[in-house]
Amino acid sequence: MRKIGGKILLGVLLGIFIFIGYIIWDNNRITVTEKDIAINNMPKELDGFRILQVSDLQEKEFGNNQKRLIDAINEIDYDAIVFTGDILDSTESTNYKSFYSIIDGITDKQNAWYVPGNDDPYSYQFTPGIEKSEFVKGMEERGVELLESVETVKLEEANIHFVNFELSIISSPEYVGSSEGIVTPPYHSNENYLTYQKQLWQEMKILNDIKEADVVIALNHYPVADNRIDFIQNNEKTIWRDYDLIMAGHYHGGQFRLPFVGAVFVPEPWNTSSFFPSNDRVKGLWEYKQTKQYVSAGLGSSDALSFLKFRLFNPPEINLVTLKR
């Protein structure tokens, strides 16, 4: 009887070690998730335009000085690269090297933009006038731009506009700073900040006169939940634009995923419950009210509970989106 009990215990311990080993391996590999997305009325010049998305790094290291991640990025042929937030792990973090090493190693930064997440250092500082933060300055010196309003890529006669989603939904400059349902920086009511944001809002007017064939890609850290879309469309302070695609992160694909079940939890304040969300609203492509949205599961892990800072059955990913006619 003791021999049987000993074998059972040995089997259990062996199973635990194998499981831990799998989690370590699974959390440190990099997958490239590819998706073709059809865009209505897209001009032929933009057919096959490729966007590489990197999201939710959370300061995770993939090799010495991020070598494995850099190599994975440089092996991909893309037309634009976007970083959709939570690149660092805290608004107070100064571990900029975890991100700067990646930017320094990337060979193609012709069209490279970043939008901040809730765990990133703040984008602005005040002295007392407004200027970009040290984190953003260092990022831009290395070739990745903070997407503050609208940036346009022109291919022959075709245009693809990359827009800052949160600013683009403001219907009038008087409502700048009144975003609801998202985490805002502590200076969101600072007069210098509001004045600057109102100036940036003026650049959004380009979206009022775009050609029908132009493509509009909105970048945001937060996915836009269905009921938030309804709210934006029915609120006088906001406007819903004709986005061809929204790209976001934040959810980590659920971080913990169970076989045959999917995500256990996503941090989404616009849902009545964030536990066991609908699997078609956690990662990948979905569509609501004729607006497509693509959400990356990202690379890192949240440390809301430090002992749960890992991913389960949910390998890190970077995402390659190809626009198709």
- 9 within domain boundaries: no
Residue 102 region, left (φ>0) first, then alpha (ψ -120 to 50), else beta?
alpha
Q: Give the span between the Cα atoms of 164 and 145, in whole angstroms.
A: 12
3-state secondary structure of 24: helix
- 264 within domain boundaries: yes
pLDDT at residue number 8: 81
Q: Give the span between the Cα atoms of 290 and 196, in whole angstroms.
A: 32
Task: Give kind and range of the element (H or E) at residue 138.
Answer: helix 134-141
- 16 within domain boundaries: no
Contact yes or no for 55/296 (Cβ under 8 A): yes
What's the distance, Cα to Cα, between the start and end of the chain in Å? 68
pLDDT at residue number 35: 98
pLDDT tens sequence across 143-169:
999 999 999 999 988 999 999 999 999
Q: Give the span between the Cα atoms of 156 and 214, in whole angstroms.
A: 12
CA angle 191, 197, 290 (to 5 degrees): 140
pLDDT at residue number 160: 97
- 211 within domain boundaries: yes
Give Cα 119 distance to the centre of its chain: 12
Give the domain extent around 152: 32-324
pLDDT tens sequence across 166-199:
999 999 999 998 877 788 899 999 999 999 999 9
pLDDT at residue number 2: 66
Record the tokens describing residue 85, joined without a space.
């937030």
- 7 within domain boundaries: no
Contacts of 167 (CB under 8 A, 6+ apart): 148, 149, 176, 197, 200, 201, 204
The pTM is what? 0.95
- 8 within domain boundaries: no
Amino acid at position 72, single letter:
A
Angle of helix 67-74 relative to helix 97-105, nearest 10 degrees? Answer: 40
- 22 within domain boundaries: no
Q: Count up the domains in the chain and report the number.
A: 1
- 14 within domain boundaries: no
Instruction: Extract the residue ranges of the chain whose pLDDT is less than 70.
Output: 1-2, 304-307
pLDDT at residue number 294: 98
pLDDT at residue number 306: 64
Angle of helix 97-105 relative to helix 134-141, nearest 10 degrees? Answer: 20
pLDDT at residue number 191: 94
Q: Give the span between the Cα atoms of 216 and 160, in whole angstroms.
A: 6
Contact yes or no for 119/298 (Cβ under 8 A): no
Q: Which residue has the tokens 């934040």?
A: 250
pLDDT at residue number 178: 80
Contact yes or no for 292/285 (Cβ under 8 A): yes
Record the tokens describing residue 231, joined without a space.
């709210």
Percent of the chain with pLDDT over 90: 84
Report the CATH number at residue 238. Answer: 3.60.21
How many CB atoms neighbour CB 148 within 10 A? Answer: 19
Q: Are strands 317-324 and 50-54 parallel, antiparallel or unpaired?
A: antiparallel
Amino acid at position 105, single letter:
G
pLDDT at residue number 271: 84
